[in-house]
């Protein structure tokens, strides 16, 4: 392929500037944890515990999961008190009623009240209901969030733009064992008569973690 | 005395080697059991390929002012953790 004018140069002065090379993922060396992960995956496959296809299916499932699923659960709970009771009893089973696969790890919903606000963290690592909501945000995994939200939750929430009214108590839930957590926020005023889809749309990921509250847009 | 809902418990102040799920900020602190998280495989054994019987894991509520003497906020603020029963010493 030839150009009609001065070959491959882009400058007016005829100098040739090569395109910067697109960096490859492999340009950075493997970190210790990356090498460990690769080794573990190879061993698991070699031992016949699962196949590479199983691993990819699971990763695709997590990537396909979205906070919108949590929004649907919350919206239904706002509209249907019986569903709300079942959601508080067993999130995984309640999700199944709506055709949502929340995965095999048990999830517990913690309900806000006018006087109580719930916030979720995993101080030890980064446990998160990822089969229901997809991958967690980077800040959720940061040491700063994990260390500070149990120590000074009000300051952390204020940095998220959430200033709780005077008199509202905060309860922080630290997922230290096998349970994953989800906040069931209060339905905001100004949403009277809204459809389930309209309600679900205002329940963002951060509302489900407790670092934001749904607002009537 | 055994651990059940409503029991005030003290988290054992110990520092065993290996993998465990009891954050340091609650060790030696008192809280109240608010529920059973479930009976779960013992993560401390599981981490090294063992299994053993499932362990009761309790949801324990701590007052922030118990954990952090200089806590800034509502004195009613709390933290709830899921703790394996063998870390809990019933007090009353």
**CA dihedral angle for residue A163, residue A165, residue A169, residue A171, rounded to 10 degrees:** -30
What are the DSSP calls for A152-165, one per residue? -HHHHHHHTT--PP
Which residues have a Cβ under 8 Å from the Cβ of A15 and sit 6 or more positions away?
A9
| Size of chain A, expressed as the number of residues it contains | 217
Position A12 scores a pLDDT of 58
Cα–Cα nearest to A203, from A180, A185, A181, A189? A185
Q: Which residues of B touch A118 (CB under 8 A)?
A: none
B73·A170 Cβ contact <8 A:
yes
According to DSSP, the residues that pair with A9 across neighbouring strands are: none
Domain range list for chain A: 33-62, 66-209
Least confident of A14-23, A52-61, A122-131: A14-23
Handedness of CA A112, A124, A145, B13 (dihedral sign): positive
A178·B80 Cβ contact <8 A:
no
Task: Specify the 3-state DSSP secondary structure of B8.
Answer: strand
Q: Given strand A116-121, what is the order of strands in its sheet?
A: A116-121, A169-174, B78-84, B55-63, B30-40, B8-11, B88-90
Higher pLDDT, A112 or A165: A112
Which residues have a Cβ under 8 Å from the Cβ of A215 and sit 6 or more positions away?
A188, A202
**Residue among B23, B67, B74 minimizing CB distance to A124:** B23
Q: Which residues of A touch B40 (CB under 8 A)?
A: 177-178
Position A52 scores a pLDDT of 93
Residue B30 to chain A, least CA–CA distance (Å): 16
Position A18 scores a pLDDT of 82
Rounded mean pLDDT, A62-88: 96
Domain B8-90 CATH class label: mainly beta
Q: Return the structure tokens found at B8.
A: 């005030």
Rounded mean pLDDT, A144-166: 95
Give A3's pLDDT tier (boundaries 50, 70, 90): very low
Position A14 scores a pLDDT of 62
Cα–Cα nearest to A132, from A204, A212, A66, A207? A66
A170: closest chain B residue by CA: B77
Rounded mean pLDDT, A56-81: 95
Query: What does the mean pLDDT of chain A come to?
Result: 92
Percent of chain B with pLDDT over 90: 77
According to DSSP, the residues that pair with B36 across neighbouring strands are: B58
Rounded mean pLDDT, A189-203: 97
Position A184 scores a pLDDT of 98
pLDDT tens, position by position, B75-86: 999 999 999 999
Give A6's pLDDT tier (boundaries 50, 70, 90): very low
Position A9 scores a pLDDT of 47
Position A2 scores a pLDDT of 43
pLDDT tens, position by position, A117-147: 999 999 999 999 999 999 999 999 999 999 9
Q: Which residues of A are catalytic?
A: 122, 125-127
Q: Which residues of B touch A124 (CB under 8 A)?
A: 21, 23
Q: Which residues of A touch B38 (CB under 8 A)?
A: 106, 178-179
Q: Return the structure tokens found at B30.
A: 């008192």
B80·A171 Cβ contact <8 A:
yes
The yes or no reply on domain A66-209 and CATH 3.90.330.10 is yes
Place of tokens 């994990």: A146
Question: Are A188 and A202 within 8 A, CB to CB?
Answer: yes
Query: Per-residue pLDDT for B65 more than 60?
Result: yes
Query: Per-residue pLDDT for A115 more than 60?
Result: yes
Q: Is the ipTM of this complex over 0.90?
A: yes
Flag whether residue B76 sits within 8 Å of chain A, measured between CB atoms: yes
- Classify residue A2 by its DSSP letter: -
**Residue among B38, B43, B72 minimizing CB distance to A106:** B38
- Classify residue A182 by its DSSP letter: E
Query: Per-residue pLDDT for A1 more than 60?
Result: no
Query: Per-residue pLDDT for A10 more than 60?
Result: no
Query: Per-residue pLDDT for B60 more than 70?
Result: yes
């Amino acid at each position: 392929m030839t150009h009609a004018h001065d070959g491959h140069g882009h400058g007016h002065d005829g100098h040739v500037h090569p395109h910067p090379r697109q960096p490859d993922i492999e340009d950075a060396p493997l970190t210790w944890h990356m090498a460990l992960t690769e080794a573990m995956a190879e061993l698991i496959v070699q031992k016949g515990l699962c196949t590479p296809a199983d691993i990819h299916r699971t990763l695709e499932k997590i990537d396909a999961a979205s906070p919108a699923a949590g929004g649907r659960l919350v919206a239904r709970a706002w509209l249907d008190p019986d569903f709300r009771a079942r959601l508080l009893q067993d999130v995984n089973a309640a999700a199944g009623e709506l055709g949502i696969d929340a995965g095999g790890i048990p999830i517990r919903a913690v309900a806000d009240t006018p006087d109580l606000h719930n916030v979720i963290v995993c101080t030890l690592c980064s446990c998160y209901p990822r089969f229901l909501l997809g991958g967690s945000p980077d800040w959720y995994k940061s040491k700063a969030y994990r260390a500070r939200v149990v120590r000074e939750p009000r300051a952390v929430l204020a940095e998220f733009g959430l200033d709780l009214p005077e008199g509202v108590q905060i309860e922080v839930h630290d997922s230290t064992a096998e349970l994953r957590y989800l906040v069931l926020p209060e339905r905001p005023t100004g949403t009277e008569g809204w459809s389930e889809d309209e309600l679900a749309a205002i329940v963002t990921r951060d509302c489900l973690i407790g670092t934001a509250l749904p607002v009537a847009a | 005395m055994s651990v059940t809902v409503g029991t005030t418990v003290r988290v054992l102040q110990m520092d065993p080697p290996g993998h465990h799920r009891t954050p340091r900020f609650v060790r030696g602190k008192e809280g109240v059991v608010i529920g059973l998280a479930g009976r779960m495989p013992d993560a401390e054994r599981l981490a090294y390929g063992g299994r053993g019987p499932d362990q009761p894991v309790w949801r324990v509520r701590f007052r922030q002012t118990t954990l952090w003497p200089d806590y800034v906020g509502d004195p009613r603020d709390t933290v709830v953790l899921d703790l394996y029963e063998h870390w809990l010493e019933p007090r009353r």
